[in-house]
């Protein structure tokens, strides 16, 4: 199956949809992006069956036989990218699925956060107040704060400060992969980054389009900053994205 992106998104992502039957009684889609985590899925994903939403696994080109694990759970929706593209690409694929099948809310999770049920409950409870995006911060109330490498905290703080300068949002964990989003709120956005830079685009465009934002503590701080290890110069790369978005989505005097 070719996962084509309609106006609002600039790129197409090749993928394969294995389980297509959406339960339209559910208005919430719970999304787990995975890459070579078949063993983890087998041990952890069954707890999500009673989560109150449909489950979509976006497999970002795994080579470890993830599908052999997934096929034992026919209630899971599954899309596989032909190649490993990145977390941003998985978010775009999930958004298109949620939009096309009429889901009102998307909840994205991080496989390192093992408190799935509690995290989902907390996100659903808060987005029900009417927010467009609820972000789960892995740094707020993180009792293992002292164990985090200082450079990871420093990079996150620089990104947060840059975003606040543009948007006024007090986002302490801008690269978190754990959040709830009203699907309709993304309709006019152009999210084009295939890596974690997509989340930076999300915050600046959320401000540009006047969306309401809330940040809450994640149930666990596990994995904070690990995404930075995938880049040679994470701060430089991400600041370049922020500056590009600042230029493209300048709210001052804009008619939108």
Residue 22 lies in a domain: yes
Residue-level pLDDT at 255:
57
Of the candidates 90, 79, 66, 67, the one whose C-alpha atom is nearest the C-alpha of residue 19 is 79
Residue 247 lies in a domain: no
Residue 154 lies in a domain: no
Q: What is the CATH number of the domain that holds 125?
A: 3.90.550.10
Residue 144: alpha-carbon gap to chain centroid: 23
Residue-level pLDDT at 4:
34
pLDDT along the chain (256 residues), means of 10: 33 47 65 87 79 92 88 91 96 98 96 83 96 96 88 97 97 97 97 97 98 95 88 96 96 64
Residue 202 lies in a domain: no
Residue-level pLDDT at 7:
32
Residue 166 lies in a domain: no
**Integer Cα distance of 183 and 22 in angstroms:** 16
For 30, the domain range is: 2-144+174-191+210-225
Residue 83 lies in a domain: yes
**Integer Cα distance of 105 and 185 in angstroms:** 10
**Integer Cα distance of 75 and 72 in angstroms:** 9
Residue-level pLDDT at 157:
97
Quick one: angle between helices 150-167 and 234-248, nearest 10? 10
In this structure, the number of other CB atoms found within 10 A of the CB of residue 239 comes to 16
The three-state secondary structure class of 125 is: helix
Residue-level pLDDT at 236:
97
Residue-level pLDDT at 196:
96
Residue 102 lies in a domain: yes
The structural domain count of the chain equals: 1
Residue 163 lies in a domain: no
Residue-level pLDDT at 5:
35
């Amino acid at each position: 199956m070719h996962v084509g992106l309609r106006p609002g998104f600039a790129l197409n992502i090749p993928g394969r949809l294995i389980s297509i039957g959406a339960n339209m009684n559910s208005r919430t889609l719970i999304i787990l992006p995975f890459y070579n985590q078949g063993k983890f899925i087998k041990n952890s994903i069954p707890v999500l069956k009673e989560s109150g939403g449909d489950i979509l696994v976006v497999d970002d080109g795994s080579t470890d036989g993830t599908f052999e694990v997934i096929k034992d759970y026919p209630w899971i929706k599954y899309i596989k990218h032909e190649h490993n593209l990145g977390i941003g690409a998985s978010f775009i694929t999930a958004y298109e699925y949620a939009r096309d099948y009429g889901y009102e809310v998307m909840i994205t999770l991080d496989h390192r956060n093992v408190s799935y049920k509690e995290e989902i409950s907390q996100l659903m409870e808060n987005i029900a107040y009417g927010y467009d995006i609820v972000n789960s911060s892995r740094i707020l109330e993180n009792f293992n704060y002292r164990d985090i490498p200082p450079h990871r905290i420093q990079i996150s703080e620089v990104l947060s400060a840059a975003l606040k300068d543009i948007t006024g949002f007090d986002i302490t964990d801008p690269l978190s992969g754990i959040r709830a989003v009203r699907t309709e709120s993304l309709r006019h956005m152009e999210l084009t980054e295939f890596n974690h830079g997509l989340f930076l685009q999300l915050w600046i465009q959320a401000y540009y389009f006047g969306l309401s934002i809330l940040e809450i503590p994640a149930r666990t701080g596990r994995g904070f900053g690990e995404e930075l290890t995938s880049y040679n110069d994470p701060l430089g790369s991400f600041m370049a994205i922020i500056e590009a978005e600042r230029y493209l989505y300048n709210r001052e005097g804009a008619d939108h």
